[in-house]
Amino acid sequence: MGGTDLRVLAYLDANSGSLIASAIAGGLAGVAVVFKMGRARVAQFFSPKKRREAAAERAAESE
Partner 1 sequence: MTDVQRESASFRDPTGSVFYVDGRVLRGLDEAGAADYDTLAATTFFPELLADGKVVGTTALDASAVPEGATSWARVLEHDRVPFVSYPYEWSFSMLRDAAALHLDVLLAALGEKMTMKDGTAFNVQWRGATPVFIDVGSFERAGRGPWIGYRQFCGTFLYPMMLEAHLRIPFQRYLLGHLDGLEPTEMRQLLAGRRRFKKGVFRHVYLHSVAESRVTGGGQALKEEMGKAGFDLELTRAMVTKLRKLVGKLRSRRSDSAWSAYRDVCSYSDDDTAAKEAFVRSAVEGRGFNLAWDLGCNDGRYARLVAQHAGYVIALDGDDVVVDTLYRKLREDGVTNIQPMVMDLTDPSPARGWRGVERRSFEERSSPDLVLALALVHHLAIASNVPLDDVVGWFRSLDATLVVEFAHREDPMVKRLLANKQAGLFDDYGVERFDALLSERFTVERREALPGGTRTLYLCTPRS
53 interacts with partner 1 by CB under 8 A: no
CB 63, min distance to partner 1, A: 15
Neighbours of 24 (CB within 10 A): 14
To partner 1, the closest distance from the beta carbon of 56 in angstroms equals 11
By three-state DSSP, how is residue 31 classified?
A: helix
- Rg of the Cα trace of the chain? 14
Residue 24 amino acid letter: I
Per CB under 8 A, the list member of 14, 39, 49, 63 interacting with partner 1 is: 14
Answer yes or no whether residue 52 interacts with partner 1 by CB under 8 A. no
